[in-house]
Structure 1
């Protein structure tokens, strides 16, 4: 039984009983340890850090026992790491590469040579950090990026502080880009200080180790705990964090309102090169930094740890606006913001041109990733929600690092040239080139009304499958909760969010679009799908029936479109309005005066909107379904009985009846309508607006022309 030290700043998660089931399986213990470390974001961020173990294994070529190192492969995440995410290499072959190493100017060629050291041909590609683990003699090694350690590593007096804090038991290696040479320097540091329990990498992170998985785990926790205690004590003595506050935050509700109003405008600027998805944070740590006196000094310095830097860019854009800045006329706001974005893009271009090498990749998107709005919060923008969210997490880590470093000494960031060498590293470029091609709706945000079931849910899922972020909604809380539970099994929180929405309530509609702006940054696709049906003979129709049909179908479509267009105009990225109408907009049938005429109004309203919104590059199109019965709330009401009565058939006979009256003799499903919607927004029909696409199996009387 292990004796556990009490930890205050890190989480001790080791379970002796669980670990005992893996006894003798060093790789299983490596995965277990890695997952525990990755579960505590105080130790390392998503995708950050790497771990390894060395053990004997049977060589498939010789049948002899040989030493093998398993190390987290390129692009993995410790918290979710599985055995398939490890690279396995012959230790002797890896170490023998020093015989052919030609020096630091030839670092990148060594990565290709790692492939000649692979033990398990099915394993993950080795990362650039592989030699950092390979030359150290320990069986288990952890390399992490904890804020507390990086605060010391990034402090002006970091080396001296490390020496004094750990009484010489933690070594120090100055900043150097990860690679083969850094691996040799770690080995040299250990050889010169054989009793040390770890090594601090200047501006970078921490290496710790042990001869068993548990020894490495507990050593890692103890070192980070000591760093965190030291930082906490220093911060406690510093009564004016970041020089004290010079801006007062808006109250929570007002912050969120302001952020929702500004996010689409900011997204429009950040999407000048590629459509971006946004994330907003008003975390107290963020507010303490962006409201401070030292913001102006520290923000332009950028981050220190390369893991932070790669996800947040050279520095953030700080908005020089009052927290309660009146959004007022969007055009006026954009005129205020335009110089800030132009200035940032020029700064980034100058940084690129001053630091580039003859073989550097072409300059990438010059827009900021991190935008700081004093008194309000932090916006981050990236090609997808996960990347935008992770960028916010990493910049929050960078804030923690700056806070700690300033409390114990003075914060130092990576020199501009070193930062460039990381950002435009040819190996990083190769990694980017290997990424999967974006899906058709990547970078797009879709709000589909009535999307907790039936046609709306099918449309939402289709758009999510094609790369869009979706806002799922319904006016029925129970139905929405059921849909949320089902969607959680298929999609992550970075793909969808939910909100109650009654399309007859402008307040609900505004709240839904505010949530779209806060969670994802705005909206690009609005699908008006919410609906209901009432089938009655003329003499039985009531005023209440008529008002409900027109309030939901016509006024609802109008109001949702109006609010959606307001956001699209803020973004200036164009957009799509898709209206799910009906063949009943074109076909005259019995017992259908209210529903049919409302559908006709929806159809013509779509044409009117298409004519008006073309100047904004907002395309308005219609999909006309018919008789979509599966999972439809409409068919759970009296509509089925009413239509069955009108056609003199039973309710059970309706699906077959509807199919037989079509030219194709087909039953129409929700997925068919979803496919039609994707046809309009998937990129092939971007020059098409004001159109009607019938998805009814072929009803000749519903032909538009």
Structure 2
């Protein structure tokens, strides 16, 4: 098995392709270099670091050649950036900004001048790091956040370690919050040390530079490899974090504990908005959470500003003892633990705030460390929760390296606060778009690979929800999730094979949704079959099969949903996809119609039980949804066509013609009703039925 040491110390290899690069312009080489660097999380984390190139280009007005800085724009990610992700600025204007600088107390105002330096009306906003690249007197600059470098930068003797490892080739600068002043510091360092190839920034990261794009890229790799080699030698055979004091549970048991903890935590931290969870029990995480020094190191907080902004001042260590399996005691104590974290965070805010500081933000932890189990992270959406976990793994790697060769130092509390509550960061947050209507919500859709299930999932995903698709058909699930992930990202959609009549399978599905997303807000009970036979030809097996799937299955998935929703104490929405046939009798379909009627009455009963917990239960009644529906294939289609004296081709027209509105009913129509009943637009509705049948007077509810 690959050890933590081996994985972290595998050397970086150059991926530069000379033939490919030969066809590129200098800006295209910058993009190429950026994507290569961002493709390896050992080089930089998501959204972290930035790259730049100074390029001669014709001015759009004068036609004269001018020097233009291409630099990663605000909020971008070097691994996924495209050409439109770079800000472009006139270098002569950036140099002119020095005359506007009024000193450290006024450096934030310099960001307001950057738009005046824009080249060619580029709408991409320049980031706070722009001066750090502009004033380095080299054409190409990389600023990365490699774990191996930050482990040096976060050591108590980082200056001495930098000199020991790199000599005069790489310099060192003390901690300084990113901004205009740090840009001037970098320029001064370069002018005073013309032979230096880069600099380590204390508690921050690495800058490297060159006048050639490829040389700059390979220099960055070389410096990181040198740091990795150093740690490989110095930490060989050394137990990280003081060695283990806990043993990990087996993988299934770890997921079981996480599935209990995550909905409870989610409910307690979702006061301001619904939160989405992520679980990580990787080898690096387990080594840390099981270690003797874990609590002391975790209390110090992270060092790199990017780590800190994603993971908050410090994590919350859950009081689980794997050897004692004290889960019930932990569950009982969670409210007090989370309340204590909030109080501690509020006290930190009060100690560090300035007269103009933004108001206190969400005081809940982002990162939860569970000995023997792993790490849980919560954030406003799945991608942010996952990325927060990745950042804390970076922080773990940093703490491991620094504490092994030296003494690890977290970012000083006041410095951490000044970044977290930086007015420029606050302005960026205020510019964020308004959340979508289902942002942070988690939905389980049974029958998820069918036409109605897929359309409903797509509708929820479009509104910002995370969706778990459950279906008995594994092949159909695989193709459905591939399509939805391509449209909405793999972060927000998961699948689970589930037979709704199998109590164990239902329990496993709810464990999966708890571990993958943290809990559940919306259940769409949509699994179905259809049968058609005269009563004399309706066998007991056929009758029981309808009842098992359409009645018992709905009971089982709803009962499990109630359990998780009550644990979260956040309310919830349950939507039954029943049928017009649950209200209006139909010939030759007694088993199907009776089972659908049972669904509707079950929904009414659950609406009564769920109301005090804020759990709303409503019904959508479709009719004749042929498009994409698996129940309209095979014998059922033949039988219904025979019942109504038509052929397959004429059945859809017959259904349309018999409706009051003379319209076909599509899966997207059912999805729209399912969206309404899950959204806050129907927050005051429970126990209701929406018929989506193009009009059928026999199915009127009154």
1:180 maps onto 2:180 in alignment: yes
1:294 maps onto 2:296 in alignment: no
**2: CA distance between counterparts of 1:681 and 1:371?**
29
Partner of 1:318: 317
Q: Is the 8 A contact 2:442 2:519 kept in 1?
A: yes
Partner of 1:573: 570
User: Which range moves more in the overlay, 141-150 or 267-276?
Assistant: 267-276
The one of 7, 14, 24 equivalent to 1:12 is 14
Structure 1 residue 9 displacement after superposition = 2.2
**2: CA distance between counterparts of 1:263 and 1:324?**
20
**1: CA distance between counterparts of 2:555 and 2:118?**
62
CA offset digits 1:171-212 (Å, max 9, x no partner): 111111100000000111112211101011000000001111
1:648 maps onto 2:616 in alignment: no
**2: CA distance between counterparts of 1:333 and 1:601?**
40
**1: CA distance between counterparts of 2:409 and 2:445?**
47
Q: Is the 8 A contact 1:46 1:79 kept in 2?
A: yes
The SS at the match of 2:409 is coil
The SS at the match of 1:67 is strand
Partner of 2:140: 140
**2: CA distance between counterparts of 1:487 and 1:116?**
42
**2: CA distance between counterparts of 1:469 and 1:637?**
33
User: Which range moves more in the overlay, 47-56 or 488-497?
Assistant: 488-497
User: Which range moves more in the overlay, 108-117 or 656-665?
Assistant: 656-665
CA offset digits 1:121-179 (Å, max 9, x no partner): 12410000000000011111000000000000010010011112111111111111100
Q: Is the 8 A contact 1:171 1:190 kept in 2?
A: no
Structure 1 residue 62 displacement after superposition = 2.1
Q: Is the 8 A contact 1:172 1:189 kept in 2?
A: no
TM-score, length basis structure 1: 0.97
**1: CA distance between counterparts of 2:481 and 2:371?**
34
Structure 1 residue 120 displacement after superposition = 2.5
Partner of 1:634: 631
**1: CA distance between counterparts of 2:240 and 2:325?**
29
Q: Is the 8 A contact 2:54 2:69 kept in 1?
A: yes
**2: CA distance between counterparts of 1:341 and 1:328?**
16
CA offset digits 1:449-505 (Å, max 9, x no partner): 011121111111100111100001211122112212322321211110111111111
Partner of 2:38: 38
User: Which range moves more in the overlay, 11-20 or 201-210?
Assistant: 11-20
**2: CA distance between counterparts of 1:327 and 1:587?**
53
Structure 1 residue 328 displacement after superposition = 7.5
- C-alpha root-mean-square deviation of aligned residues, in Å? 1.3
Q: Is the 8 A contact 1:644 1:651 kept in 2?
A: yes
Partner of 1:83: 83
| Structural mapping, 1:589-608, within 5 Å | 589-608=586-605
Partner of 1:268: 267
The SS at the match of 1:285 is helix
The SS at the match of 1:55 is strand
Q: Is the 8 A contact 2:571 2:614 kept in 1?
A: yes
Give the direction of change, closer, same or farther, for the CA distance of 1:142–1:197 in structure 2 (3 Å limit).
same
Structure 1 residue 525 displacement after superposition = 0.4
CA offset digits 1:659-700 (Å, max 9, x no partner): 111111110000000000111112111121100000001101
Q: Is the 8 A contact 1:87 1:120 kept in 2?
A: no
| Structural mapping, 1:230-249, within 5 Å | 230-237=230-237, 239-249=238-248
Structure 1 residue 80 displacement after superposition = 0.9
Structure 1 residue 278 displacement after superposition = 0.2
Q: Where in structure 2 are there 5+ consecutive unaligned residues?
A: 1-8
Partner of 2:342: 345
Q: Is the 8 A contact 1:210 1:216 kept in 2?
A: yes
Q: Where in structure 1 are there 5+ consecutive unaligned residues?
A: 1-6
Give the direction of change, closer, same or farther, for the CA distance of 1:328–1:12 in structure 2 (3 Å limit).
closer
Partner of 1:97: 97
The SS at the match of 2:42 is coil
Partner of 2:308: 309
CA offset digits 1:331-375 (Å, max 9, x no partner): x75431111101100011011111111111111100100000111
Q: Is the 8 A contact 1:323 1:373 kept in 2?
A: no
**1: CA distance between counterparts of 2:561 and 2:322?**
25
Partner of 1:381: 378
Partner of 1:200: 200
Give the direction of change, closer, same or farther, for the CA distance of 1:248–1:327 in structure 2 (3 Å limit).
closer
CA offset digits 1:86-129 (Å, max 9, x no partner): 00001111011111100111111100101111112124100000
1:540 maps onto 2:542 in alignment: no
Q: Is the 8 A contact 1:42 1:147 kept in 2?
A: yes
Q: Is the 8 A contact 1:258 1:324 kept in 2?
A: no
Shift >4 Å, 4+ stretches = 324-329
1:509 maps onto 2:506 in alignment: yes
**2: CA distance between counterparts of 1:663 and 1:606?**
27
Partner of 1:4: none
Q: Is the 8 A contact 1:261 1:327 kept in 2?
A: no
CA offset digits 1:636-664 (Å, max 9, x no partner): 13112222222222221111111111111
Partner of 1:555: 552
| Structural mapping, 1:413-424, within 5 Å | 413-424=410-421
Partner of 2:5: none
User: Which range moves more in the overlay, 269-278 or 202-211?
Assistant: 269-278
The SS at the match of 2:681 is coil
The one of 471, 481, 501 equivalent to 1:484 is 481
The SS at the match of 1:80 is coil
The SS at the match of 1:70 is strand
Partner of 2:3: none
TM-score, length basis structure 2: 0.97
Q: Is the 8 A contact 1:208 1:219 kept in 2?
A: yes
1:622 maps onto 2:590 in alignment: no
**1: CA distance between counterparts of 2:414 and 2:13?**
37
Partner of 1:151: 151
The SS at the match of 1:125 is coil
Structure 1 residue 543 displacement after superposition = 0.9
| Structural mapping, 1:193-232, within 5 Å | 193-232=193-232
Structure 1 residue 8 displacement after superposition = 4.1
1:457 maps onto 2:454 in alignment: yes
Q: Is the 8 A contact 2:261 2:331 kept in 1?
A: no
Q: Is the 8 A contact 2:532 2:589 kept in 1?
A: yes
